[in-house]
Structure 1
Amino acid sequence: MRTIAASLAGALALAGALVTAAPASADDTSLLSCTGSVTVDYSPPLGPLPRATSQSVTEKLGTAGGGSCAGPFTSGTAHTVFDQQVSCLAQGLGDTLVQNVVTYHWSDGQTSTITYPVTTVVHAANQEIVTSTGTVTAGYGVGSVSERIAVYPSLGLLDCLNSTITQQTGLLTVTLL
Structure 2
Amino acid sequence: MSAAAVLSLGAGLGLVAPGSVSAQEALVVCGSGNQTQRYSPGLTYTTRDIAIHVSGSVGNCADPGRPSRSYATFEGSGQGKANCLLGALPTTVTYKWSDGKTSKIYFQAGVDAKPAGQSVVVVNGVVTAGEYEGHQAVKHILLTNVDVTKCATPDGIDETGGSTDLIIL
TM range (shorter): 0.7 to 0.9
User: After superposition, what is the alpha-carbon deviation per residue over 1:102-125, rounded to whole angstroms, capped at 9, x for unaligned?
Assistant: 221111111112222311212223
Q: 1:94 aligns with which of 87, 94, 102?
A: 87
- 2:163 maps to a residue whose letter is L
Q: 2:51 aligns with which of 35, 50, 54?
A: 54
CA distance in 2, matches of 1:100, 1:81: 5
Q: 1:32 aligns with which of 28, 33, 36?
A: 28
- 1:59 maps to a residue whose letter is G
Whether 1:107 and 2:98 are equivalent positions in the alignment is yes
- 1:76 maps to a residue whose letter is A
Change (3 A) 1:100 1:157: closer
Q: Verify the 8 A CA contact 2:40 2:52 in the aligned structure 1.
A: yes
Provide the TM-score with structure 1 as the length reference.
0.71
Question: How much has 1:172 moved relative to structure 2?
Answer: 0.5
Q: Verify the 8 A CA contact 1:128 1:154 in the aligned structure 2.
A: no
User: After superposition, what is the alpha-carbon deviation per residue over 1:63-108, rounded to whole angstroms, capped at 9, x for unaligned?
Assistant: xxxxx212231211221122222222x2xx222xx43322211111
- 1:144 maps to a residue whose letter is H
CA distance in 1, matches of 2:52, 2:106: 17
- 2:27 maps to a residue whose letter is L
Structure 2 spans left out of the alignment, 5+ residues: 7-21
What SS does the aligned partner of 1:28 have? helix
Q: Which residue of 1 aligns with 2:135?
A: 144
CA distance in 2, matches of 1:43, 1:99: 14
User: After superposition, what is the alpha-carbon deviation per residue over 1:10-59, rounded to whole angstroms, capped at 9, x for unaligned?
Assistant: xxxxxxxx68x66xxx9521211112011001222222222222211113
What number of residue pairs does the alignment pair up? 147
Q: Which residue of 2 aligns with 1:155?
A: 146
Per mean C-alpha deviation after superposition, the further-off stretch among 149-158 and 33-42 is 149-158
Q: Which residue of 1 aligns with 2:166?
A: 174
Structure 1 spans left out of the alignment, 5+ residues: 1-17, 63-67
CA distance in 2, matches of 1:141, 1:52: 31
More helix by share: 1
Whether 1:45 and 2:42 are equivalent positions in the alignment is yes
Q: Verify the 8 A CA contact 2:145 2:161 in the aligned structure 1.
A: no
Q: 2:114 aligns with which of 117, 123, 128?
A: 123
CA distance in 2, matches of 1:164, 1:94: 14
CA distance in 2, matches of 1:156, 1:115: 28
CA distance in 2, matches of 1:127, 1:50: 20
Q: Which residue of 2 aligns with 1:81?
A: 77
Provide the TM-score with structure 2 as the length reference.
0.74
Q: Which residue of 1 aligns with 2:12?
A: none
Q: Which residue of 2 aligns with 1:134?
A: 125
